[in-house]
Structure 1
Amino acid sequence: MTNKRQKIIVYIDGFNLHYGINGLNQFYKWLDLQILAKSFAQDDDAIISVKYFTSKLNGSSDSVYRQSIYLDALSRHCSNIKTITGNFVRARKCKHCDGKNNEEKQTDVNIACEMMQDLYESNFDIAYLVSGDSDLVAPVRKIVNMNKVIIVAFPPNRKSKELIEVASNYFDIKESRLKKCQLPNEIATKRNPLKRPEKWQKQNKGDI
């Protein structure tokens, strides 16, 4: 009798991961999510899908440009990634300041919906969740109650006690792992190559 290979799906909360890296080192934002996912599993061939959840920024700022380059780089270089986008909307004016802040919407809902669909379709035996968002406690608990394994990989400085309590297991994504899971500095296209954004070339903390 041969052992059945376990099916693995990796769910990545893009903004949660991004802001965790932002507080650590901007250099690591040029992250190869497919290699990162493979680094979680002993048998990386068992990973049937990597689902990346994010929201596209609006406007013409440098942040929008960097995100666009990064998403294009992922789509060209990583063959096993499915990107699922939510909305980025203008928030109400802050009562304590003169400005307005953008708010990212739908990511946690999208993650929960994908996880539940995959659960009930028996698409995975083991799930990895890259997030420290406690709003995802309910779907994580449901997966465990359905006798599936879900392991939470916490981005830097994004640990959640609530997720730790309900998950099958957890670990922290260390800087050493991020360093090993970078995209090539240049990715070839039919026209100009996609390059690591200049602001992400320096190893320091900073904005998006």
Structure 2
Amino acid sequence: MSTVIAYVDGFNLYYGMRAKYGRRYYWLDLPELVRNLRPADQLVAVRYFTTVVRAEPAAAVNQRTYLRALEAHHPRGLEISLGRFTEKKPRCRTCRSSWQCGCVPPRSYRTFEEKATDVAIGARLVEDSALGASEVALIISADTDLVPAVESARRVSPQRSFYLALPPGNTSPSRSFDGVGYFHINETALRASQLPDAVVDQATGTVYERPAKWK
């Protein structure tokens, strides 16, 4: 039996599940998922990195409900790190000025870009490797932005094992993850790793229910 810490790239996992299965597995019990993926290992911690969505109020409410349900169901061994979205202001394709230009049809649109998540995952991955926090690092992501962090962590701790758990829709990892083992997160694991429909916070009595759109 080996000790394992999981590093979950929330949006990489989310987009994979959405593309393949819609919303049906969003109410995901992350520590239970890791246990189902690595049943022979001893789970030390799950580090979940995500960002609350912007410009979609209903989706943000559902996401916050989910995060609170996770914390209530796993008061220990689960760490949630929130990044941020920054507003991008693309230039108009017609006049090349800002997105608030007066072109007709109007070009006044906004987009948002997730920030800080990859850096946060990489920092914790290297830190845990330096501290010898676990024998196995399980990275739930297929994002190649994590390659430099994985390479650094492997140099810091050559004896630590590194694995990618690929979100749905990824057939194989990028060749940039040279020498890193991988396997797929299949539907059976997702189905077996759902939170109860109603999660009770034992400290406060608050009940968090699976959003209707996620059923």
TM-score, normalization by structure 1: 0.86
Which residue of 1 is the match for residue 160 of structure 2?
148
1:85 to 65, 82, 87: 82
More helix, by proportion: 1
1:133 aligns with 2:143: yes
TM-fit CA distance, 1:98: 4.9
Give the 3-state SS of the residue equivalent to 2:68 in structure 1: helix
1:38 aligns with 2:35: yes
Q: Are residues 191 and 95 of structure 1, via their aligned partners in 2, closer, same or farther at CA, if it must alter by over 3 Å?
A: farther
TM-fit CA distance, 1:95: 4.5
Amino acid at match of 1:200: W
Which residue of 2 is the match for residue 161 of structure 1?
174
Which residue of 1 is the match for residue 192 of structure 2?
180
Which residue of 1 is the match for residue 122 of structure 2?
112
2:15 to 19, 23, 45: 19
Whole-Å separation in 2 of the counterparts to 1:23 and 1:157 = 7
Which residue of 2 is the match for residue 200 of structure 1?
214
Whole-Å separation in 2 of the counterparts to 1:192 and 1:49 = 24
Whole-Å separation in 1 of the counterparts to 2:154 and 2:123 = 16
Amino acid at match of 1:194: Y
TM-fit CA distance, 1:103: 1.1
Whole-Å separation in 2 of the counterparts to 1:38 and 1:163 = 27
Amino acid at match of 1:71: L
Matched-pair contact (CA < 8 Å) for 1:129–1:151? yes
Give the 3-state SS of the residue equivalent to 1:165 in structure 2: coil
Moved more, 30-39 or 182-191: 182-191
Q: Are residues 185 and 120 of structure 1, via their aligned partners in 2, closer, same or farther at CA, if it must alter by over 3 Å?
A: same
TM-fit CA distance, 1:191: 5.2
TM-fit CA distance, 1:164: 4.3
Matched-pair contact (CA < 8 Å) for 2:73–2:200? no
Q: Paired residues, what number?
A: 195
Give the 3-state SS of the residue equivalent to 1:115 in structure 2: helix
Task: Please give the per-residue CA displacement for 1:72-127, whole angstroms capped at 9, x wherever unaligned.
Answer: 10000123210011111212236566522111111000000001111111112110
TM-score, normalization by structure 2: 0.83
* The structure with more radius of gyration: 2
**Greater than 6 Å deviation, 4+ residue runs:** none
Task: State the identity as a percent.
Answer: 30
Gaps (5+ residues) in structure 1? 202-208
TM-fit CA distance, 1:40: 2.3
Superposed CA RMSD in Å reads: 2.0
Whole-Å separation in 2 of the counterparts to 1:175 and 1:186 = 22
Amino acid at match of 1:112: G
Amino acid at match of 1:83: I
Matched-pair contact (CA < 8 Å) for 2:5–2:137? yes
Gaps (5+ residues) in structure 2? 94-106
Whole-Å separation in 1 of the counterparts to 2:28 and 2:182 = 21
